Structure 1
Amino acid sequence: MMRPALALIAIIGALTMSEPSSLAQSELDATMEPPVIITAPGPEFRDEARPGAMIIGMDRTPKGRLWGCWTGAGDKPDTYFILATSDDDGATWSKPRLVVGALDPSGKRQRSALVGNLWADPLGRLWLFFDQAVVGVPGPRADWLIRCDNPDADAPVWSKPVCFANEGCTLNKPTVLSNGDWLLPVSKWAEKTAWVYVSTDQGKSWNPRGRVKFPDWNFDEHMFVELRDGRLWLLARTQGNPHECFSTDRGKTWSEPEPAATVQNVNARFFLRRLASGRILLVKNGPPTERLSKRSHMSAYLSEDDGQTWRGGLLLDERSSVSYPDGFQAPDGLIYILYDWNRHTDAEILLAKFREEDVLAGKLVSKDAKLQMLANKATGPKPILYNGIELPYEWPPRHLDPASTEPMPVPYLRRPPKASIPIDVGRQLFVDDFLIEKVDMKRTFHQAQKHAASPVFKAETTNEMGASSSGGRGQEATCYLGHGGVFFDPRDGVFKMFYTAGWRGGLALATSRDLLHWTRPDLGFPPGGNRLLAQGNDAGHDNCVWLDVNAKRPEERIKFLTHWGSHVLKTSADGREWSQAVTTGSAGDYCSFFLNPFRHVWVFSIKQGGPRGRCRYYAESSDFLTGADWSRAVYWTNADRLDKPEPEGRYPGAGEPTQLYSLNAVAYESVLLGQFYIHRGPNNRLCDQGQFPKLTDLCLGFSRDGFHWHRPDRRAFIAGTRKEGDWDRAYLHGTAGVCVVMDDKLWFPYTGFSGIAPSGKRGMYTGGAIGLATLRRDGFASMDAGEKPATLTTRPIKFSGEHLFVNLDAPRGELRVEVLTLEDKNYGPFTAEKCVPLRCDSTRQRVTWRGVESLARASNKNVRLRFTLTNGSLYSFWVTSDPNGASHGYVAAGGPGFRGVVDSVGAGISSAPAQRP
């Protein structure tokens, strides 16, 4: 990466840090190191090199130059500021002219600048306020400023950075009072308090004047307007609607905050400013007194009575994910507003220009007014995944057709990476041809084997046995996963199963040490017994639970989605106390979510009705609760023409078109493992009339980019028996987490319905119980050879480890491995002749060569591997730094012996001979 040229910064004026500090100097060092100010930004800061954009602010300098500021990486914590200019009234914008917060000169540490603002003062000088944190160093964010006294010059010069608040963030512009004071809003996030700073000497010093604490704190983002009666009106963002308070002593003291009387808004920054005409301008999402469900409909309004009422309503941008307006009014009365759209996808900064008469008319009537002018768009770089796959700029993809019956296209299989494929993460499975260059082995896909002890968990308690009272009344003897969740908790050393106790019942917990014998612990929670939440609003029709054993915040260890009228998200540390429910967008009744750890995002599998019935939409978020915004969800997938209807004679209602009833997923080793619930009918009306369960089978898919699914085997991985009286006759459901790892096998919990209760009562949702199916570890697909030697040669690969392992079933055969150059020549001593032949059945077997200790000579080189096999099956291979065979891949929902959901122990787990699939 090119290092930015760091220019010397001229010191202009004597700016002082005058706030008394109660922090020790050692605590201040992290956030008060001199910020990195780059006055000659290199190509690494241009649009094509940046992944996102979030608006910070804009203003106009005396000769008419427009200055804009936005971030270079959206709203990520390690982002930085970019400043650009326009000398043609916003029609075109310069390349970056200034960057704040980036790699330091040594390139070893990074400063972060996340929030701030631009302001042109009455003297014509341009100020940039910004917060700073040093990435990876704990502590509060400090508030800094720099100033430019010649902002219209060809080569503007900026002052030395000054920290004026040891802890704080400035998100809105200063306000100049009638007495000449300059008031600056500063939010101290650590103490969740909105402060007022003041300069009485035209910016030579900034000092705290007053403060106020708002209920339901949400970054404050407060702003001031001086009213005609001399009071100050302060509006601030909260978790709910904005709150307001007033000051009669220029900000020293404030009235008790109350919900704003005339302004409501979604959780986002809005813009409030006194205009030259005396009117107050308000720019926000939606009408003044309406709180929208999402950040859409950016609009402008005017008040002639100091905010008591609002007039007009000019719609600037109706699209979803438009936010954070900031701007100014030029001397000729033209108003400029800069805002962002989709910070991490479209990543656009947009400009609106209009006049007061446009706002009052509710449409553009001025000749020089113009909306949705593109100021900046980040177009890259395309993210490169752990496996070398390059994601497109548009993510998630939006081009798939819900009416199509064709199988989902998989771009990375059509066009594999041209460069060597990195294989440092996880065992490399043979579920597709992603890693295969040449092969004459035969691929075989394997189905799970139902465990003889199934069902291992069935209705016993009063809540589970009794007739349901909602959502299909009268259903009996049912406990079911309903997505639920089965995870191994390394902290407590047990498997935890979150399930629904009774049809549409409450959320309950069972624990086990071996998956076969389960206990219902008495939790001592208000619902009673082993129930975490009672049925109803708290635990609704359908629940999905994820035990996040690596949660950064303890209070978010349990993540929960439920549906009762609408879907809501909650989190909890232990299931006793839950966070405030966050409502999602509209969807069907059976949604779920999962963690994609390869990209560190939470993915929501959203049920919707489409032209071909039930299907899935996709939404993602780096933060679970923020992910409740499903307004940007895109069509994802459905059953297709390869999912065959139920044949005649096996089950009632045969022949109906297949639909995708649900889709769960989990990271397993180096891929995402998808569990597709294929609905083969009949429709609910027919099932209800006949009092038997509908038919869903569990099928598999695999994804290497987290969105596109390869589904090479359309047989049911786990199927209902279709037989009257069987506990899993039909209506099979998997679970969040999909599977766990134990004794070198994969264990798949699943729900089946018999349709019959012990009382003889029949029903579509009656007789639900939970069983298990197993599979050899990595056993989804094997590459097989008979008596004649067969080979498999990989594409070019690269690894940093030095120990090669395989999952092999060849006790009566033989496997040899050789390392090749890209020209198919032997690489060093790693030849087939020197390879110690493997004749074993083991899920973790090291490959060695005579006279060579390890693969170290081939590490970080571009090479191929060629496997030669007779009379056996090869399931996977991996190269690791661990001589015990830890793959450093993901182990689904965990298992005994693992410290979390990553295999960091290798041979520390059972090394018993493998069970064949």
Structure 2
Amino acid sequence: MIRLTACLALFGLVAALQAQTVDPTSVLGDTTMPSPDDVSRKFPYGITGKTPPSLTRVNFEGQEPYHKHRINLRVFQGCPQVEISEGGRLWATWFGSNVQAERAPYHKDQFSVIATSADDGKTWKEVFVFDPSELLGGGASDPLLWKDPEGKIRFVGVRNVDFRGMDEFASSAWEFTMLDPEDEHTGWSEPRLLGNKNISVMKPLIFPDGSILRSMDDFKLVGKPDATRIRFLKEDADGRPVFVSELPPDPDASFAEQMPIIREDGSLFTFYRARKGQKFAESTDGGMTWKPGGYYPTQFSIDTKCILKTLPSGRVLLVANDVQMKDRDGKSHFYYRDEHGQEREVGPPRTSRTRMTAFLSDDDGRTFTHKMLLCDDGQISYPSATLGEDGSIYIVYDQGRGTIGQHTIFLSKITEEDILAGRLVNPGSSLNTIVSRPSDHGGGRREGDTL
């Protein structure tokens, strides 16, 4: 169980620098698009960071069966996201490669897959890819699916092109909106340029007035302790940038991956990823300024992604790796506490990225007293969640991104009642349904492959 009880004093003891808001253009770049007849809009000529990307339809009737994005060529994949249409069609996205593991900063030979399920996640079909490789060898990273205030599903893809330092949009986030999410080969809106930062790992926070708060980070600055990186972009209900707020530089932060919630008193609370666990921050003015609070008193999701979401019941959902760490003999040892409170060693593999767990809070996120283990089979990471109309909670995560026989995207469908009971009690719930596993289709990494 995760508790924040007597440790409330920690909020006041930690030095609390107030973050500031800045002009969005100074952070995102000038996202104004050139005119339609500008050379940058005429692929393949005059390619710039503002040349719009596109989505490619795959696995449609009449397509050649040997296209380059087919699953039996894939050797690496991970970082999934999930969303659901109003009609109950599930959508998922993740990135993958036929050549290698993830390679920052340009992610060459990497593309994002969009898949869908019309039978509540039992079977899946890959239907689109976001692949910038034909634009000067560009690569894709960190895709996102989310549902906007009007219920429309949007896809965000990050494109990375090596312009040799000559273009401020070498890395750029682009957003597409589904036109018919009940159709497996839906049409899409024209892409909208969001900015030149990573704005696609965490789902935006939606305010009651329809405005949103997007989490973003400058991954190029990871490892630079004095750099300002952890930011939020506020957009009004029409999508216009209102402000960008910043947290002070934090040398412990890695890929921050912050995901705020709105508390009952209107304040905002977020975790963000750090080297020894999750740190937290609060805002009492709608995200304009933030008060960092230091490390959360209990460890979970050590230097990896977790997610927070307020449920219709008012409870707060946390999905995280339920693993703690201690130093012994100069090495990090990972452990967890069983149902009796006893420490148990993690492994094999000995990693903090396992024991994917769903937690619930009854007190607005101050304590998480209920939990249910979702998966502890190998290296498990990067959860994403969405809610069905009937209260079902759909959660995806990856397993062993480049591990032989794995590189799996899993889906678990659960309810609040399951988490409260600590086990599946709802007859419609299920754990670890396979969304995608290339090795089941003749693909995947093989012995001798070096990624």
TM-score band, normalised by the shorter chain? 0.7 to 0.9
Q: Which residue is equivalent to 2:300?
A: 264
Q: Which residue is equivalent to 2:96?
A: 72
1:32 to 34, 50, 55: 50
What letter is aligned with 2:118?
Answer: D
CA 155–22 in structure 1, closer or farther in 2 if over 3 Å, else same: closer
Q: Which residue is equivalent to 2:158?
A: 131
Structure 2 unaligned regions, length at least 5: 1-22, 32-45, 223-228, 327-333, 336-350
Matched-pair contact (CA < 8 Å) for 2:300–2:320 = no
CA-atom RMSD in angstroms: 2.9
CA 246–321 in structure 1, closer or farther in 2 if over 3 Å, else same: same
Q: Say whether 1:305 aligns with 2:386.
A: no
Q: Which residue is equivalent to 1:344?
A: 402
CA 311–129 in structure 1, closer or farther in 2 if over 3 Å, else same: same
- Measured after TM superposition, the shift of residue 307 of structure 1 is 1.9
Q: Which residue is equivalent to 1:379?
A: 439
1:365 to 417, 425, 433: 425
CA 90–157 in structure 1, closer or farther in 2 if over 3 Å, else same: same
- Measured after TM superposition, the shift of residue 331 of structure 1 is 1.7
CA distance in 2, matches of 1:268, 1:356: 24
Matched-pair contact (CA < 8 Å) for 2:323–2:354 = no
Q: Which residue is equivalent to 2:384?
A: 326
CA 33–56 in structure 1, closer or farther in 2 if over 3 Å, else same: farther
Q: Which residue is equivalent to 1:54?
A: 78
1:210 to 229, 242, 245: 245
Q: 1:672-821 counterparts in 2 under 5 A?
A: none
Q: Which residue is equivalent to 2:273?
A: 237
CA distance in 2, matches of 1:75, 1:304: 38
Q: Percent identity?
A: 26
Q: Say whether 1:103 aligns with 2:138.
A: no
Q: Which residue is equivalent to 1:144?
A: 174
Q: Say whether 1:177 aligns with 2:207.
A: yes
Q: 1:133-532 counterparts in 2 under 5 A?
A: 133-135=160-162, 137-138=164-165, 141-153=171-183, 155-191=185-221, 193-202=229-238, 204-212=239-247, 213-262=249-298, 264-286=300-322, 293-345=351-403, 346-379=406-439, 393-395=445-447
Q: Which residue is equivalent to 2:343?
A: none
CA 259–379 in structure 1, closer or farther in 2 if over 3 Å, else same: same
CA distance in 2, matches of 1:211, 1:233: 14
CA-to-aligned-CA distance 1:227-258 (integer Å, 9 cap, x gap): 11111002110122111111111111111341
What letter is aligned with 2:85?
Answer: T
CA distance in 1, matches of 2:114, 2:373: 27
CA 219–359 in structure 1, closer or farther in 2 if over 3 Å, else same: same
**Structure with bigger gyration radius:** 1
Q: Which residue is equivalent to 1:663?
A: none
- Measured after TM superposition, the shift of residue 178 of structure 1 is 3.2
CA distance in 2, matches of 1:263, 1:99: 36
CA 90–155 in structure 1, closer or farther in 2 if over 3 Å, else same: same
What letter is aligned with 2:159?
Answer: Q
- Measured after TM superposition, the shift of residue 350 of structure 1 is 0.7
Matched-pair contact (CA < 8 Å) for 1:189–1:219 = yes
CA distance in 2, matches of 1:22, 1:328: 28
Secondary structure at 2:220 match in 1: coil
Q: 1:590-601 counterparts in 2 under 5 A?
A: none
Matched-pair contact (CA < 8 Å) for 1:116–1:172 = no
CA distance in 2, matches of 1:24, 1:172: 23
- Measured after TM superposition, the shift of residue 338 of structure 1 is 0.6
CA distance in 2, matches of 1:163, 1:199: 14
Matched-pair contact (CA < 8 Å) for 1:214–1:243 = no
Q: Which residue is equivalent to 1:19?
A: 25
CA-to-aligned-CA distance 1:39-62 (integer Å, 9 cap, x gap): 346632121121221133110011
CA distance in 2, matches of 1:287, 1:163: 38
- Measured after TM superposition, the shift of residue 24 of structure 1 is 9.5
Q: Which has the higher contact order (CA 8 A, sep 6+)?
A: 2
CA 122–180 in structure 1, closer or farther in 2 if over 3 Å, else same: closer
Q: Which residue is equivalent to 1:88?
A: 119
CA distance in 2, matches of 1:22, 1:122: 23
CA distance in 1, matches of 2:151, 2:28: 35
Matched-pair contact (CA < 8 Å) for 1:35–1:111 = no
Secondary structure at 2:254 match in 1: strand
CA 303–395 in structure 1, closer or farther in 2 if over 3 Å, else same: farther
